[in-house]
A and B are shown apart, each in its own frame.
Chain A
Amino acid sequence: MRKKDTRVITNKRDTVLKTFPVGGVHPPENKLSAGKAIVNLSLPAQVVIPVSQHIGAPATAIVNKGDVVKVGQIIAASKGFVSTNIHSSVSGKVNKIDLMPDSSGYKQMSIVIDVEGDEWIDTIDKTDMLKKEVTLSKEDIVKRCLESGIVGLGGATFPSHVKLSIPPGKKCDVLIINGVECEPYLTSDHQLMMEKSEEILTGVTILMKGLGVEKAMIGIENNKPDAIEKLGKLTEKYKGITVHSLKVKYPQGGEKQLIKALINREVPSGRLPVDVGTVVHNTGTAFAVYEAVQKNKPLFERIVTITGKALAKPGNFRVRIGTPVSSLIEAAGGMPGGTGKIVNGGPMMGKALGSPEVPVVKGTSGIILFPESEAKRTKSNPCIRCSKCISVCAMGLEPYLLMTITERALFERAEKEKITDCMECGSCSYVCPAGRPLLDYIRLGKSSVLKMIRERNAK
């Protein structure tokens, strides 16, 4: 006699939810700051605004020492196509234009402004009123994105106007909006979706117009049911926009993973989403685009999650670009004793800061304070050939192999093994039972291979 199946499917939706098919992990979510209303961080005494906060050519400073600037004024102009403008986030006097340490500790050209008052340029609409009607033409939207210094706010900081300019000969039929926020701890996008739902949807409409597509899909992971419900209800009023609930799995926020999960198209190795007819933007970016186009407000502030288990008041703050991380920590209740690491970004992909005295930039999505006990690395042991890293790799790579060949400096082999496809999500290092520093070596190998390819192409 067959045994009766006693298993119970607790959440039936889990079995039908969309997700990407290869790899992935599910680390503890630890969304400590979820549901915490966005608070405006008080202005610091001084801001340090680097001229390079995006991928591509750094902007050129167009102000001089001693100049008086207003909030929203362009202080560094874009240079080249893949580049964007940088605006002043405060009003005051330019103290100096000098090399200042950025989040990596290396010095880069920055504009230091002493804050005096909070005077905005006149063209910005400071009211909170929702403005739904899009009057700008397609070309003007792209132009406005460049003028307003909009970059991808998910963390990669790729200039948005470049993404909106579809290269000739290519077609795009659907816009994907990334509301996944798959990194543990981070809640800035979630909170923004809850508080500025209509604005985000208007932003999506603007992006659709800018791209010239009729359809937009918003992907949100199932651990944010309130956001799914709220946006889902509102989209009934917006033409062409749909909200999709996704299974919780890291790294679903990766561009290629999200495309696979939502529209089941696979971006080939070394190609861009536009090659499969889509473009992905972040919800934060959609909001920034709304503000730029409807309110004429350039990108000079962003939502940053500050969190940590020992932190007194984890929360989501609206922070002016250039504010030191230390003042953000101060606002969240001060640095707890026994803090071992300050991580810039999510716990999976973020990098530890060498000092809290570095500025918040356009790509800063979160700051996480880890107690010493959690900040330590485990000892690296020999590989036990369990192949867990292979099963979790969302790009279908073999991390253990990539590490070994990088250790031996066999970069041509690494290129053949598609090391450049790695998006550095860190799932392999996270899952490795031997505590091997897989990602560290893969990063090294990837940068060496990219350098090798550049040198080869230069010949």
Chain B
Amino acid sequence: MDSTVIFTVVSLSSLGALSAVILYVVAQKFQVFEDPRIEEVQNALPGANCGGCGFAGCRNFAEALVKAESFDGLNCPVGGASLMDDVAKLLGREAVAVDPLVAVVRCNGTPTHRPRTSVYDGIPNCRVAHSLYAGETACGFGCLGLGDCVVACKFDAMYMDPVTELPVIIDDKCVACGACVKACPRTIIELRKKAKKDRKLYVSCVNKDKGGPAKKACNVACIGCGKCFKVCEYGAITIENNLAFIDSTKCVFCRKCVTECPTDAILEINFPPRKEKVEVKASDETIA
């Protein structure tokens, strides 16, 4: 009886000790050295894994930051400048100033502006609808209104407006991660430079048709007439494929193009009301 107990204890203890030695040796032999700073940087990052930096997740981004010689092209849009400063301090490098961005929806095709010509009763998924046909309106470029971008947004910064049937971006919540830009099959959403007081000035249209068909499909379509291009003194406006585009890095918000646009395709948002003009702009409804 006693010998059995002793035998059991001794054999199990020696087995345990042997295993411990093997494990220790293996752990030493196969140890992977990991820069402890990666962990530190990762903890500093927001942890949203949104992919806004261009990497698969915060961990990959942290690895890239630690490895990188300079922070050129590396930016976490969620954390912004303050976070990048912190990370730079942590790693003893120089932070590169990056302009904060914000997403804008470049379509103003509300049911009043853009009459519906057919009814889509397929699955509520923009990519499916986009691959099937031009959509419920005569415009084959504009918003389909099925909300892929809203589903893609991880920051609750978007919702579908039931009246305009267009997505709305909540500026305070938008971190410009670009998930909605990727989700939209028609690349309607664009990341633009964020201005003070959330002011925005952009061509709210992506229709590349000629003026006639574009205007027929939607009242507020850009017809590519070039008036804004002529009036812009800062070279911020380009016209390609019958579509005007305002470069947000060059635009100084003089707002001359807005009054010049014959179809009200250029939206000005969050600006103080103009003095001499009393009329209410159509843009009001997209501010939400």
Binding site for B on A (CB under 8 A): 98-99, 101, 104-107, 351-352, 354-355, 376-377, 380, 437, 440-441, 443-444, 447
Contact = CB atoms under 8 A, between A and B. Distances in A.
A444 B131 contact: yes
Given A99-B209, A105-B140, A106-B140, A354 B128 contact: no
B133 interface: yes
Given A105-B135, A106-B134, A107-B140, A441 B128 contact: yes
Nearest 6 Cβ contacts at the A-B interface: A105-B134, A354-B118, A105-B133, A437-B123, A104-B133, A106-B140
Interface of B: 117-118, 121-123, 125, 127-128, 131-135, 138, 140, 209-210, 213
A447 B131 contact: yes
Given A99-B210, A104-B134, A444-B127, 15 more contacts: A98-B210, A99-B209, A101-B138, A104-B133, A105-B140, A106-B133, A106-B134, A107-B209, A355-B117, A377-B122, A380-B123, A440-B123, A440-B125, A443-B131, A444-B131
B134 A101 contact: yes
B128 A440 contact: yes
Contacts of B123: 380, 437, 440-441
Given A106-B140, A107-B209, A440 B122 contact: yes
Contacts, number: 49
Question: Mostly helix, strand, loop or mixed at chain B's interface?
Answer: loop
Contacts of B122: 377, 437, 440
A443 B123 CA distance: 12
Nearest to B122: A440
B121 A354 contact: no
A164 to B, nearest CB: 31
A376 B210 CA distance: 35
A105, A440, A447: residue with the most chain B Cβ atoms closer than 10 Å:
A105
A380 B123 CA distance: 9
B133 to A, nearest CB: 5
B131 A354 contact: no
B128 A443 contact: yes
A99 B132 CA distance: 19
Contacts of B210: 98-99
17 contacts: A99-B209, A101-B140, A104-B132, A104-B134, A106-B134, A107-B213, A354-B133, A355-B117, A376-B121, A377-B122, A380-B123, A440-B122, A440-B125, A441-B123, A444-B125, A444-B128, A447-B131
A354 B134 contact: yes
B184 to A, nearest CB: 15
A101 B139 CA distance: 10
A163 to B, nearest CB: 26
Contacts of B128: 440-441, 443-444
B210 to A, nearest CB: 8
A349 to B, nearest CB: 13
A447 B118 CA distance: 25
Contacts of B138: 101, 105
A99 B128 CA distance: 23
A104 B128 CA distance: 13
Given A105-B140, A106-B140, A107-B209, A351 B132 contact: yes
B144 to A, nearest CB: 12
Contacts of A444: 125, 127-128, 131
Contacts of A447: 131
A439 to B, nearest CB: 10
A420 to B, nearest CB: 15
A443 B127 CA distance: 10
A355 B136 CA distance: 10
A377 B120 CA distance: 10
A96 to B, nearest CB: 11
A443 B122 CA distance: 13
A447 B127 CA distance: 10
Contacts of B131: 443-444, 447
Nearest to A436: B123
A83 to B, nearest CB: 23
A376 B131 CA distance: 20
Nearest to A448: B127
Contacts of B121: 376-377
Nearest to A342: B118
A176 B210 CA distance: 46
A105 B133 CA distance: 6
Nearest to B140: A106
Nearest to A407: B125
Nearest to B125: A444
Contact of A355 (B118, B127, B132, B213): B118
A107 B135 CA distance: 12
A441 B124 CA distance: 11
Contacts of B140: 101, 105-107
Contacts of A101: 134, 138, 140
Contacts of B132: 104, 351
